[in-house]
């Protein structure tokens, strides 16, 4: 497959995943704002920014609505939901004939919906307050659109090389985003051991789980007994939950193996080593070890390795040097 096509599919998928992540974080935090909490509003929104990787052109000014506006609609800010949807659709447009008609229709409709001025008018402060016990229409719309897109991608596109690049984009984005999210919460959850959740604190912890759509899945495994170390274990090391880091890296490795199969095998060795090492570390670590050691360093290590994997994918498949390719 052409490198350009792989590149577009990969980024289309990453941007969609990113849009979903920002949407969910905003939704969860707008909801939490309604309850009194042990954690101050300042702290919570700053933590949200941290969970999004502390974008440098966005600042917390004390106004949650202004921040929500920026994170949702500001096209100057490349990480906003709107920017992500626009970028995903732009990438899809360049490979229009490689994706299925259903995928294109779903993504294009989402784009047309969210770029309507009426849709943005929905999110003024009154709008949020008026419908305070529900997520705003905009966020709900994006979430549904993204889920539908991912659904038709899996069910209407051939699971060949192109689809594998979509998988790679989705899961590398998800693994890195979950690691950043956990890092943003580390102080609140794992700085003092033996804490027991009470009232509002419980809400905060639940908020973290819901930020990764993990609350229900967590309860199925551990019951509603929420404790910091179990949260960490679940979001980091669970084998079956699709938003855990381990699950993401497992899926990433499977997709990359399928891609290596199509190209030359020996070329892929360095990438195979990088992914294999990260996978092994997640598969054979215990949460006790991680809690015992430096959690932040561990989470940063995951982010660092994800960046390394991304770069290696580019070096191997997309942006390789002509000289090296001719020599090989």
Partner 1 sequence: MQPAHANQFEHALLKNYLLDHAYDEMFAGTDELHPHYEPLFERFASLPTDELQRRKHSAELSFLNQGITFTVYGRDEGKEHIFPYDLVPRIITAAEWATVERGLTQRLTALNMFLRDIYNEGRILADGIVPRELVYSCKHFRRQMVGLQVPRNVYVAICGTDLIRMENGEFVVLEDNLRVPSGVSYMLTNRRVMKRIFPHLFRSYNVRPIEQYTQLLLGTLRSLAPEGRPEPNIVLLSPGVFNSAYFEHAYLARQMGIELVEGRDLVTHDNIIYMRTTSGLRRVDVIYRRVDDDFIDPLAFRPDSILGVAGLFNAYRAGNVTLANAFGTGVADDKALYAYVPSIIKYYLSEEPVLQNVKTYLLTEPAAKQHVLQNLDKLVVKAVGESGGYGMLIGPQSTAAQREEFTRKIQAEPRNYIAQPTISFSRAPCLIGDDLEPRHVDLRPYILYGDKVNIVPGGLTRVALKQGSLVVNSSQGGGSKDTWVLTQ
Handedness of CA 234, 33, 170, 138 (dihedral sign): positive
Question: In Å, what is the CA distance from 97 to each residue of 9, 51, 85, 279, 316?
Answer: 12, 36, 19, 34, 24
The residue within the footprint of partner 1, chosen from 36, 193, 194, 326 (CB under 8 A), is: 326
Does 117 sit near partner 1 (CB under 8 A)?
A: no
Stretch that binds partner 1, among 11-19, 39-47, 53-61, 316-324 (CB under 8 A): 316-324
Stretch that binds partner 1, among 1-9, 183-191, 193-201, 228-236 (CB under 8 A): 1-9
Q: What angle do CA 174, 177, 180 make, to 5 degrees?
A: 150
The torsion of the CA quartet 189, 192, 193, 199, rounded to 10 degrees, works out to -50
User: What is the Cα–Cα distance from 10 to 163, expressed in whole angstroms?
Assistant: 9
User: What is the Cα–Cα distance from 197 to 147, expressed in whole angstroms?
Assistant: 32
Q: Which two tokens stand for residue 16?
A: 């969609």
User: What is the Cα–Cα distance from 97 to 116, expressed in whole angstroms?
Assistant: 26
For the chain, how many residues are written? 328
Cβ 121 to partner 1, closest distance in Å? 18
Stretch that binds partner 1, among 21-29, 181-189, 286-294, 312-320 (CB under 8 A): 312-320
Q: Which is nearer to partner 1, 107 or 214 (CB)?
A: 107
Q: Which of residues 52-111 bind partner 1 (CB under 8 A)?
A: 89, 93-94, 96-97, 101, 108, 111
Stretch that binds partner 1, among 26-34, 139-147, 225-233, 256-264 (CB under 8 A): 256-264
Q: Which is nearer to partner 1, 19 or 28 (CB)?
A: 19
Does 156 sit near partner 1 (CB under 8 A)?
A: no
User: What is the Cα–Cα distance from 98 to 108, expressed in whole angstroms?
Assistant: 15
Cβ 176 to partner 1, closest distance in Å? 22
Binding residues for partner 1 (CB under 8 A): 1-4, 6, 89, 93-94, 96-97, 101, 108, 111-112, 161, 259, 262-264, 267, 317-318, 320, 322, 325-326, 328
């Amino acid at each position: 497959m052409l490198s350009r096509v792989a590149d577009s599919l990969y980024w289309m998928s990453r941007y969609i995943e990113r849009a979903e992540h920002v949407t969910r974080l905003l939704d969860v935090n707008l909801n939490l704002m309604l309850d009194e909490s042990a954690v101050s509003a300042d702290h919570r929104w700053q933590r949200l920014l941290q969970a999004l990787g502390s974008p440098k052109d966005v600042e917390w000014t004390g106004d949650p609505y202004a921040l929500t506006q920026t994170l949702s609609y500001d096209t100057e800010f490349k990480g906003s939901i709107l920017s992500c949807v626009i970028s995903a659709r732009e990438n899809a447009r360049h490979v229009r004939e490689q994706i299925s008609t259903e995928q294109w229709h779903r993504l294009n409709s989402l784009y047309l919906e969210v770029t309507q001025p009426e849709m943005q008018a929905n999110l003024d402060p009154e709008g949020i307050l008026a419908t305070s016990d529900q997520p705003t229409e905009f966020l709900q719309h994006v979430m549904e659109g993204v889920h539908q897109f991912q659904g038709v991608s899996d069910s209407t596109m051939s699971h060949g090389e192109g689809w594998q690049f979509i998988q790679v984009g989705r899961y590398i984005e998800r693994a890195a985003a979950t690691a950043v999210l956990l890092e943003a919460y580390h102080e609140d959850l794992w700085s003092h051991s033996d804490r027991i959740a009470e009232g509002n604190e419980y809400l905060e912890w639940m908020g973290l789980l819901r930020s990764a759509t993990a609350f229900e899945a967590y309860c199925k495994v551990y019951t509603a007994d929420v404790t910091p170390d179990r949260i960490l274990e679940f979001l980091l090391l669970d084998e079956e939950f699709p938003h855990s880091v381990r699950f993401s890296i497992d899926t990433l490795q499977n997709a990359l193996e399928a891609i290596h199969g199509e190209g030359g095998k020996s070329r892929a060795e360095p990438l195979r080593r990088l992914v294999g090492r990260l996978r092994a570390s997640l598969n054979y670590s215990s949460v006790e070890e991680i809690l015992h050691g430096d959690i932040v360093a561990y989470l940063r290590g995951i982010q660092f390795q994800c960046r390394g994997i991304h770069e290696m994918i580019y070096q191997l498949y997309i942006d390789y040097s002509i000289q090296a390719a001719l020599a090989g």
